[in-house]
Chains A and B, each alone.
Chain A
Amino acid sequence: MSHMHIPDGVLPFWLVSAGWIVTLAILYISIRWSSGIKLEQKLPLIGIAAALMIVGMTLEIVPIAYHINMSVIAGIVLGPALGFIAVFIVDLIIAMFGHGGITVVGLNTLIVGAEAVLGFYLFRACLSVLRRGGISIGFSSALAALFSLMLSTSLMIGIVHISQINPSEALHNDVQNSGQSIVSHERGYLYEDSNSQNRRIDTVRFAKTVLFLGIFGWVLEAAITGFVIGYVSRVRPDLIFSKAT
């Protein structure tokens, strides 16, 4: 649910550009970080983990674009660096299928990538703490998924909230009253001087809607992640406990 299906042109240009710049910087660091390993061995795993995420994202659980991400599974299996690369690939492909805007790929990669990276570290942290108490790998991954999804959804709400802060508008606030609107009835409807004024989002309403829908998704995805990782750890533990990249 934390994946933003926001179309092109809705979010301000400075924000989507910033999203792309930060994503490309992290992507560069991730590629440099993973340059020490034999990528030929990891590429098929990137391919299949990314494909699993795409299939998960395209299966609507409830017909309001409500789906599971499986990004935490990708993070646990691939590690933070390769997990982030996989998320970027996923976002690029699904944007090509019209599932979210092309310009929003940067921001989406940051949000879903945060799930993968946080999922990996939270999983390892939970495992090191809870294993002593006999708690299973599946439960640790479920907890990691739950907290990662909560954080990434909060990140998404935060991005939507800051999307309403126009830096140039804020800088020129003293000179120009940003609330001024020029009303034109030439075609029978309202024009505003600043187009962004026309699309002020009620962040509280948006947050309430997303969080209300999100809670079910977090629990469901946490359960699925727990069972999947539990299964894979029994069948192919090397996929989960290989050296982190």
Chain B
Amino acid sequence: MDIGAIDYFANGGNSFLHRASTRYKLIFVALVIASVVITDDFILLLSVYLILTAFVILTRLPFLKIISIASYPAIFALLFAIASWNGNWIGSGVIVFKALDAALATVLLIVTTPYPNVFAALEPLLPKVVVEGLFLTYRSIFILLELIDNLIKALRLRGGLTPGRYLKNIINFSSGIGLLLVRGFDLSERFYGVMRIRGYNGKMAELESKKLDKRDAVPILIGILVLALSLAGYVRNDLSKYYIYAFMISILSVLFTVSYTYIQKSRGLNWKN
């Protein structure tokens, strides 16, 4: 999980999802997750995944990188699927695609939204200490990543991480983590102090208007559509035979977005710039 790259994608992009309001993107994610929770239909889950894949292509961010970030939960889902294996591969596929759908929807939010916007949108739902903690934690991750980079280099240069000397390596590595904790705390305390001096009082600034804009229409409509399909199949099981049409449409949407981005020669453009 490359947090630095995710932050870069969120701040550097200019796609329709980057421009959409954080509040409505959160609703979109909630709708997709709700539909993933409701449905157990493999075809629908596969269709949702393909539609989300089309979204990834349209963001013009590096496709494989985003997909690989969002595929991480599939590893544990696979373990879960193996544990519940009853000879029916559809059942295992459902577990894996539930993981992939929910993760890809969430990752789409994170790679298209700067983190202060996400935390600001969550502010009404969470206690103040948690929102402040979220903000400071996210900031501290970058402090730690920089410190870890220097630490690993220093350990290697001084022979602290030598192949074959496992116990010595663990001791050196652990002392390094202890050092990171102490140094990171000092830096985080200083950072927080500077923020307080500059007027930060624990409240995140309202960055966007609450009104539904036309740029929010696509994620909201797709979210509602996906949830409606799941609910329809849940309420009347015989309706799920029509999911095959959703599957065809999702394949077409992927083909369309691929050709559209190739025609525009804009694949991965935001990353390259």
Contacts and interface: CB of A to CB of B under 8 A. Distances in A.
Interface of A: 4-10, 13, 27-28, 31, 34, 39-40, 43-52, 54-55, 58, 64-65, 70, 73, 77, 85-86, 88-90, 92-93, 95-103, 184, 186-187, 189-191, 195, 198-202, 205-206, 209, 220, 223-224, 226-232, 235-236, 239
Contact of B73 (A7, A189, A200, A209): A7
B137 A54 contact: yes
28 contacts: A7-B76, A7-B77, A8-B98, A10-B98, A28-B127, A39-B129, A44-B136, A44-B192, A45-B185, A47-B133, A51-B141, A51-B184, A52-B144, A52-B177, A88-B130, A89-B133, A98-B69, A98-B70, A101-B99, A102-B29, A198-B91, A198-B94, A199-B91, A224-B177, A226-B174, A228-B177, A236-B182, A239-B185
B114 to A, nearest CB: 13
B148 interface: yes
B72 A102 contact: no
A226 B167 CA distance: 13
A231 B144 contact: no
B255 interface: no
Contacts of B196: 40
Summarize A's interface: helix, strand, loop or mixed: helix
A231 B151 CA distance: 15
Contact of A93 (B134, B180, B237): B134
Interface in B18-54: 29, 33, 36-40, 43
Nearest to A205: B83
Interface size bracket, B side:
35 or more
A65 B69 CA distance: 13
A224 B176 CA distance: 10
Contact of A101 (B70, B102, B110): B102
B181 A52 contact: yes
B99 A8 contact: yes
Given A40-B196, A44-B185, A102-B106, A5 B91 contact: no
Contacts of B86: 198, 200
